[in-house]
Amino acid sequence: MTETTGRRRAATTVTVVAAALLTAGLASALAPAAYADSPSAPAPVPAAELAQARSAVQDPAVLDKVGHFFARKGVPPTRQLTIGAAEEARAASAAAPRLAGDTVPVYLLDPGFVAGIPGAPVAKAEFTASKVVAADGQSASVWTVRQGEAWKVVNIASGGDESDYAAKAAGSGGGTAFREPQVNAWYVLRDGRVLPLDDEALRSVGAGGVTLAAYQQLVHQRYGDKLPGSAYDRTGRGGGYEADTAAQPEAVSQPVAEAAGGGSPLPAVTALAALGATALVGAGAVLRRRTAVRRG
């Protein structure tokens, strides 16, 4: 498929089946001992960790996978193309994927903040993203998470929202970019205010944004009764959010182990986000597309 244009990629909702792995893996890697600015500010990710994550993306085997992702225009290997394997290989090589911009932490709305837990940050870093571009202009976001002592590439998603919004936040006065995945809204937390970075966020908080306290009240009203463990969640709606079947898919996201077929030494896992909780799961729970969601 072609690179996503117009309205940004919308949120994905999936059933999170291994949330306990977050505490054992990614959370311990990304969370320092104390928050930098205030109890409700996202915890920064150390530069050394970002460098390790970026190094994982620069592995030739990973860039080859991204080349095949570009060659297939995001079509998963379970679906046939009109070109053969040899032509796909040539297209993958011609794509000449290269990193563009910085590797950035990706902050997602934190359930503790939604619940109103004192001191909970507005968002937590759930994975890192590195933007990779092809010779023909396609772009992809390569996601990495900390697994044990090493950073692993777990997903390739079309487009570059994660890096683009982080850069937009930095270029507009600084602060921390974060995402409210349920409505695909990107914000920046700056000087105690939550400000919009995209149209969805603009509709949510207005051009002038809102205070952090007001934003907490807003998301608590939206999702407070839909948190993991709630009655809403126990109905089996994938963490409390249901896919809008009328929405049209706008982007493709694939685990790296499947991005170019079998035989890969890379882990067959993908980062699955639902209300700020990331779980690493097997290839049976493949994140294929990001579709719009409704809040219930």
Residues 232-246 pLDDT 10s: 555 555 443 333 333
CA atoms of 183 and 59, how far apart (whole Å): 34
The pLDDT of residue 24 is 35
- Give one DSSP letter per residue of 74-143, joined into a string: T--TTS--SS-HHHHHHHHHHH--EE-S--EEEEEE-HHHHHT-TT--SEEEEEEEEEEE-TTS-EEEEE
Q: pLDDT: is 21 or 154 the higher one? A: 154
Map out the domains of the chain as residue ranges.
20-294
pTM score, two decimals?
0.72
What number of other Cβ atoms are within 10 A of residue 59's Cβ?
Answer: 12
Mean of pLDDT values over 64-92: 87
Tokens describing residue 280: 């690493």
- The two beta strands, 176-180 and 104-109, are parallel
If DSSP codes are grouped into helix, strand and coil, which group holds residue 274?
A: strand
Tokens describing residue 296: 């219930």
Helices vs strands, H then E, count in the chain: 10, 14
CA atoms of 211 and 198, how far apart (whole Å): 18
The pLDDT of residue 76 is 75
Residue 256 parent element (H or E): none
Residues 81-122 pLDDT 10s: 777 889 999 999 999 999 999 999 999 999 999 998 988 999
